[in-house]
Amino acid sequence: MTTERDIMEYDAVIVGGGPAGLAAAIRIKQLAQERNTSISVCVLEKAAEIGAHTLSGAVIDPRALNELLPQFIDAPIGTAVTHDEFLFLNATRAFPIPNFLLPPDLQNHGNRIVRLGFLVKQLGEIAETLGVEIFPGFAAQQVLYDHNHTVIGVITGDMGRQRDDSEGPQFQPGVEIRGKYTLFAEGCRGHLGRQLEEKFALRPQAQTYALGFKELWRVPKNDVGRVQHSFGWPLSNHDYGGGFAYHLDEGLIAIGYVVGLNYRNPHLSPFEEFQGFKTHPVIGAQLKDGTRLSYGARAIAAGGWQSLPKLIFAGGALIGDDAGFLNAAKIKGTHAAIKSGMLAAEALVKALAAQRQHDELTDYPQAFAQSWLADELKRSRNFKPYMKHGMWQGALLFGVEQLVLRGKAPWTLSLGAADHTRLIPAAQASPISYPKPDGVLSFDRLSSVYLSNTNHEEDQPCHLQLTSMAQHQTINVAQFDAPETRYCPAGVYEMVKDPAVPDSAVDHTDGVSRLQINAQNCIHCKTCDIKDPTQNIRWVTPQGGEGPIYQGM
């Protein structure tokens, strides 16, 4: 039977209340005021409140934000960067890289340290004062098409479904949110963005990703305005990644680590690499006598220029990290997300002024191609391909290209195979032994997830969909030793002993292992959707409002 749904109609529907989505909403309303016209805009946000699912380092380049809201030039947000350093780490020491050897993208003079969740909340308040309707706690679960396969909006997720997908006593069907144009700003590896890429064949080259971790610490003393980036230990030279420590005011330090998801060894645990990073003498000294306040993790779209998809399709467009507008070489994406949202908004308003709807916003990719954002991404396009040669060699090659050729190399290198294809069989990989957490600088997953304030109603359909359990046993377990139990930063995937499954592919003397999915732990990083070797796991939106509740992360 077809579910009867309420219908709400707008000129512009924006899926996602992060920097890109809110920038687009604000820009549409600004242009409407300039033209003395009315444009209805709604923003759907799956988190319980704006900013609750926002996670980033974050040092931001304020250029796009100042273009969108010039008042921030006079009253700048966050903490000014006062001291910028880049380190190479070995197991016991740190070796500073002189600033004159760093490409311009890695220098942070003029940038700001912010708590992005708070900034996003502020953008939401500005959008609402301009007349944008924001609906937090409403997850867009399906793309709405017409008979010509044109996007005409989205359907929000049903509320009150039980674990077997039946309608519970508090069942409420989702709502059809229809728009003349729909902008998708779900962030990295967007649930609907992925579907749109597949349906319309938008992405010619596979995206490549990283997994970023962040903790917020309060310490007795810190160096306000200090920005520190590092690479090297504890990762091997063959793996891409690095750490950061950002010193905010109020005695706060944002500490984090990024691991490229194109790693090959299935025994590697990005979470454990992050815990090890904090025990380095130089890093641990900054956290001495401190208190860990919060924890989170999220995937990062790191492919840049080469992996950008076609941005538009009939009825809508991809913006922000849903498209992959992040400059991995710059270690920044907020400015790119905001700028892409502004460009799409300007194209959308122009189309509405011409009495158009549900067609392709062709002015958006054209404007992007002529923007400073396109120039920035193109200049750093070879960063990730160089890293395939190893961190040291890659950094050297990229540095020479940037310092000598100023990003205008006559070649564009390929990113290579998708991340999920990169694992080698566990039997061919070197085992990795990680130390137990000390409870002072390093911690376990469950105590970390607790600090993310994550919550999911247990009696609902699992939002982590395993297509085939048999495939998991014969490939994930038998060939790769269940890598999802290590790459998940929240302990969602667990192999448990189950003597009741005698035909399992994995036998143990004390029973048989089966996969248990602890979906209530999920912090929505989407790493499983990216790294599963056969793409057997799909992340979809849970009930609206659920997941982590980050406090200014």
Give the residue numbers marked as catalytic. 56, 298, 334, 488, 522, 525, 528
- Paired residues of 209 in beta bridges: 301
Comparing C-alpha atoms, which of 488, 112, 523 is closest to residue 295? Answer: 523
Residue 202: Cβ-neighbour burial (10 angstroms; 0-12, 13-18, 19+): middle
Q: Considering Cα of 147, then 152, then 158, then 163, what sign does the dihedral take? A: positive
Residue 125 CB partners (closer than 8 Å, separation 6+): none
What does the H/E/C string look like for 116-129?
A: HHHHHHHHHHHHHH
The DSSP annotation for 265-285 comes to -TT--HHHHHHHHHTSHHHHH
CA distance 488 to 494: 10
Q: Is 167 helix (H, G, I), strand (E, B) or coil?
A: strand
- The tokens describing 226, both together, are 């200090």
Residue 17: Cβ-neighbour burial (10 angstroms; 0-12, 13-18, 19+): buried
Comparing C-alpha atoms, which of 469, 461, 459 is closest to residue 493? Answer: 469
- Paired residues of 227 in beta bridges: 84, 246
Q: Which long-range contacts (CB under 8 A, 24 or more apart) does 145-149 make?
A: 146/358, 148/314, 149/199, 149/314
CA distance 378 to 188: 20
**Which residue in the block uniquely carries the two structure tokens 């029973």?**
511
Comparing C-alpha atoms, which of 147, 169, 179, 160 is closest to residue 24? Answer: 179
Q: How far apart are the first and last CA of the chain?
A: 43
C-alpha dihedral (107, 235, 527, 393), degrees to nearest 10: 60
- Paired residues of 80 in beta bridges: 112
Q: Is 507 left (phi over 0), alpha (psi -120 to 50) or beta?
A: beta
DSSP state of 428: G
Q: Are 108 and 246 in contact (CB under 8 A)?
A: no
Q: Max Cα separation, the chain? A: 75
- Paired residues of 261 in beta bridges: none
CA distance 134 to 129: 11
Residue 509 CB partners (closer than 8 Å, separation 6+): none
- The tokens describing 280, both together, are 């380095």
